[in-house]
Amino acid sequence: MRGAPTILHLGLDAFYAAAEQASKPRLRGKPVIVGGLGPRGVVSTASYEARVFGVHSAMAQARRLCPNAAYLTPRFSLYRQVSDVLMGLLARLSPLVEPLSLDEAFVDLEAGGVEPRSEAARAVGERLRRDIAPATGLSGSVGLAGSKMLAKIASEQAKPDGLVVIEPGTEMALLGPMSVRAIPGVGPAPAEALRRAGIHTVAELAEAGEAELVRLLGKAHGASLFALASGRDERPVVADRDAKSVSVEDTSDEDLTDRSRVQFEVARLADRCVERLREAGRSGRTVVVKVRRYDFSTLTRSETLRGPTDDPSVVREAARRLIDGMETSEGVRLLGVGVTGLADYTQEDLFAQAAIEREALEESQRAQDEAPPGRPPDHGRAPGPESAPQGPISEPSPGLPRDWLPGHDVVHAEYGPGWVQGSGVGRVTVRFEQPWSAPGRVRTFAVDDPALAPAEPLPLVRPEIPPGAPAASLPTVDLGAGGGVAAGAGGSAVGG
DNA sequence: TCTGGGGTCCTAGGACCC
DNA sequence: TCTGGGGTCCTAGGACCC
């Protein structure tokens, strides 16, 4: 606990939903829900307008409460882009920045040379809030306090779009009457155990004493909770924490019962997991398979290899052995594959590498041959790294239905950039607008209209156009394939 | 509140080694 | 050959967070 509020916690407000509203002028001021699509989808983030209806994160039945909201598919490439900008702003404040998620971080202002006084810390926080809007197009809330826990509680109180400083010396008066749930780490299960023991507030936690809390909640939880409730929190802000695991999982729209289908899906998940592992430049030693059954009971099985690997076929085979030892006959709603025990990737010798790639290729061909019947051949999603690169010439194969996901970006040869508002019965409705344009109008096309193509997200903040540069080509967020957004984008701006 | 997806940390038992 | 304690690794499950 510091004598000055020099630990800063920042969180963007309703991040994903706010990013969608910044992106889509027509949705500003309206209920927007990211996620919640599909028979088993849950809400990822609800805009403040949607929260009025009682919609919140992780909720399954949002549609009943808020049928008129815009339900959108998440666009993680955009959120990551915004996150990079945000973390860049924070890095200017201090070398000690600890990201907690894409939109949340702790910053140690003292390590950044900020004078350890309330006024100085507050000034930095206020400037940060002012800088966030023009840099990201979004708003954030800032908490400042003498410890991580209090800074986080402060920024929670500051939401939306505010700043709260907890002055050292005032924290116990503030904390005491709060519910035990206000302390990060106290979820439903510990809260219930505490309630049965007659403990409801933070003050009662501190009065209960460490021994009692350890008895109720176990050694680690009890001890750390007692310290936090007593206002003791010396946890440092830690930058550059390495990830400890990588995993992917998928809930199917309907429970899977067919054994070969389960095996096939596990192999695909293993490939996706390794893809992500490799992107992170890591390798892992323990392969984990997760199964959630029809009744929501959850099983995991793991296998530790002799050494770390980032070889798709090795991970796939381990996952296959694990799933083969698991009971799935009554129906599986979720399958997952993960890798833990991560090590920094070390380039193996070239022969081994070549052999591995060859094997992976053969394996993926085998997997394709083994694909169980009844499954569409493969719409659009690349089955493996070898088919990934696609130049500007790659046309969408005619006849194959494309997924037009609500909220995703498209570009039309005549009307320019827009986003999918909805699709069905062979038609897709697109709203033509950009982050910096006035609200746009919708048009409807056949799903296979050749003039319509998927596109990368546009940045939320209009990029500066250097004086003298041609006003056309606006950059897209990702420099990946398929861009081609430029045509006609120059003239239609309104704001700015 | 019939419950996603990506993570983190903790607990507890058993194997194994010294 | 028996007994014991401590440390570490592995496995499985559970709780929490965003």
Q: What is the pLDDT of residues A390-429, one digit of tens each?
A: 323 333 444 455 789 999 999 999 999 999 999 989 999 9
- H-type alpha helices, A69-110: 76-91
> How confident is residue A359, by pLDDT bands cut at 50, 70 and 90?
low
Contact flag, residue A332 CB and nucleic strand B, below 7 A = no
Tokens, residue A241: 């924490």
Separation of CA A328 and C1' C14 in angstroms? Answer: 21
> How confident is residue A364, by pLDDT bands cut at 50, 70 and 90?
low
Separation of CA A313 and C1' B13 in angstroms? Answer: 32
Q: Are A429 and A421 in contact (CB under 8 A)?
A: yes
Provide the CATH number for the domain formed by A1-177+235-241 in this structure.
Answer: 3.30.70.270
Which window residues (215-234, chain A) lie with Cβ within 7 Å of strand B?
Answer: 218-221
Query: Which amino acids of A are annotated catalytic?
Result: 104
3-class SS of residue A64: helix
Give the whole-angstrom CA distance, residue A387 versus residue A401: 19
One-letter amino acid identity for A54? G
What pLDDT, on a 0 to 100 scale, did the predictor assign at position A464? 79
The pLDDT tens digits of the residues spanning A418-451 come to 999 999 899 999 999 999 999 999 999 999 999 9
Q: What is the mean pLDDT of residues A345-363?
A: 51
Which residue is nearest to the C1' sugar atom of C18, using CA? A101
Separation of CA A341 and C1' B15 in angstroms? Answer: 19
Q: Strand C: list positions under 7 Å from protein Cβ.
A: 9-18
Give the whole-angstrom CA distance, residue A275 versus residue A383: 11
Residue A388 has pLDDT above 80, yes or no: no
Separation of CA A44 and C1' C17 in angstroms? Answer: 13
Which residue is nearest to the C1' sugar atom of B3, using CA? A60
Separation of CA A357 and C1' B18 in angstroms? Answer: 42
Contact flag, residue A276 CB and nucleic strand B, below 7 A = yes
Contact flag, residue A44 CB and nucleic strand B, below 7 A = yes
Contact flag, residue A189 CB and nucleic strand B, below 7 A = no
- Angle formed at CA A328 by CA A327 and CA A330, multiple of 5 degrees: 115
The listed CATH number (3.30.1600.10, 3.30.1490.100, 3.90.230.10, 3.40.50.150) that belongs to domain A245-346 = 3.30.1490.100
pTM: 0.84
> How confident is residue A127, by pLDDT bands cut at 50, 70 and 90?
very high
Nearest nucleotide to A302, CA against C1' atoms: C11
Category of A240 on φ-ψ map: left (φ > 0), alpha (ψ -120 to 50) or beta: left
Residue A178 has pLDDT above 90, yes or no: yes
What pLDDT, on a 0 to 100 scale, did the predictor assign at position A362? 55
> How confident is residue A381, by pLDDT bands cut at 50, 70 and 90?
very low
Average pLDDT of chain A to the nearest whole number: 86
The listed CATH number (1.10.645.10, 1.10.287.3610, 3.10.20.30, 1.10.150.20) that belongs to domain A178-229 = 1.10.150.20
> How confident is residue A483, by pLDDT bands cut at 50, 70 and 90?
very low
The residue behind tokens 């680690």 is A220
What pLDDT, on a 0 to 100 scale, did the predictor assign at position A366? 53
Nearest nucleotide to A277, CA against C1' atoms: B6
Q: What is the DSSP-derived secondary structure letter of residue A179?
A: B
Separation of CA A218 and C1' B2 in angstroms? Answer: 30
Which class for A354: exposed (0-12), middle (13-18), buried (19 or more C-beta within 10 A)?
Answer: exposed
Among A394, A277, A250, CA closest to A334 = A250
Among A492, A480, A437, CA closest to A455 = A480
Tokens, residue A149: 């826990």
CA distances from A61 to A37, A55, A69, A95 (A): 10, 9, 13, 43
One-letter amino acid identity for A263? Q
Give the whole-angstrom CA distance, residue A151 versus residue A414: 50
One-letter amino acid identity for A320? R
Residue A172 has pLDDT above 50, yes or no: yes
- The distance of Cα A53 from the centroid of its chain, to the nearest Å, equals 24
3-class SS of residue A168: coil
Residue A485 has pLDDT above 70, yes or no: no
CA distances from A149 to A146, A179, A441 (A): 9, 14, 46
The residue behind tokens 């900008």 is A85
Give the whole-angstrom CA distance, residue A328 versus residue A330: 6
> How confident is residue A83, by pLDDT bands cut at 50, 70 and 90?
very high
Nearest nucleotide to A296, CA against C1' atoms: B3
Domain boundaries, chain A: 1-177+235-241, 178-229, 245-346, 371-496
